[in-house]
Amino acid sequence: MADIISTAIELDQKRSSEKRLVIVEERAVIARELHDSLAQSLSYLKVQMSLLTRKMQKQLPQEEVEETIEDIKEGLSSAYLQLRELLTTFRLKLDDPAIKNALSATVTEFSAKCQHKIEFTYQVPDNYLSANQEIHLLQIVREALSNIHRHAKATLAGVDISLKENKIVVKIWDNGVGLPKSTAKHGHFGVDIMTERAISLNTQVQLSARAESGTLVSFEFSH
C-alpha cells in the first residue's frame, strides 16, 4: 500500500512538473512573438518620424504633415498595447499547477486594488485546460479586472468560470458605471488585449451592459 501511495505521489509530482515546464515554454513563445512585434512597431515609428521631419523641412502642405502625425499616433498606440501585453506576460505567475489557484490569487489581488468584493466561482475539472488555454484565460481575466479597477467605479464584481456542454463559459461582471460610448477614446487598451487573447482561444469576447448596472465581459471556448 505504501509503495502504491508513493508511486501515485511521484506520478502526480511528475505531471505537475511537466505542466509547469509547458507553461514556461508557452510563455516564452508568447514573449518572443510580442518582442518581435514590438520591435517592428518601433522600427515603423522611426521611419515615420524621419518622414515627418522631411515633410516639415520641405514645408509640404499641412494635410500631408497631419496625415503622418496621425500614422505616428496610431503606431504609438499599437506599440503601447504590445508593450503592456509583453509586460503582463512576463509578470504572469503560474508556479502553482492549478489554474484555479492562480485565478483565485488574481481575484484577491484586484479585490484589494478595487477595495470591494469580487465574487469568484470556478467549476471546471482539474487539469482540464491546456497550458496555452490557461495562460490566455488568466490574461483575459486580469485585463477585465484591470478595466474594472481603472474605469468601472463599481462596488461589486464577479468572475464566473464553468463547464457547460464541453465548453468553458467565462463571465466577468461589475455593477459600475457601464460601457463608454467609445472604448477607443477612453484608452481601453485592455479591450484590445482581451480580443487578441480570445482569438488565440478561437473565440470572441463580448462586452455588454448588464440589466442591473455595469458591464458584462463574456466568452466561451472549446477544450
Domain ranges across the chain: 2-91, 99-222
| Calpha distance 170→159 (Å, rounded) | 8
Three cell numbers at 142? 486580469
- pLDDT given at position 16: 62
Q: What is the pLDDT of residues 200-220, one digit of tens each?
A: 899 999 999 998 889 999 999
Please tell me the predicted confidence (pLDDT) of residue 163: 96
Question: From the CB of residue 144, how many other CB atoms can be counted at a distance below 10 Å?
Answer: 29
Q: How far is CA 93 from CA 72, 98, 118, 120, 128, in A?
A: 34, 11, 20, 19, 19
Q: Which residues make Cβ contacts (< 8 Å) with residue 206, sequence separation at least 6?
A: 216, 217, 218, 219
Q: Which CATH architecture has domain 99-222?
A: 2-Layer Sandwich (3.30)
DSSP secondary structure, 159-219, as one string? EEEEEETTEEEEEEEE-SS---S-TGGGT-HHHHHHHHHHHHTT---EEEE-SSSSEEEEE
**Distance, CA of 172 to CA of 193 (rounded, Å):** 15
Spans of the chain, pLDDT less than 50? 184-187
What pLDDT score does 153 carry? Answer: 93
Query: Do the Cβ atoms of 183 and 137 come closer than 8 Å?
Result: no
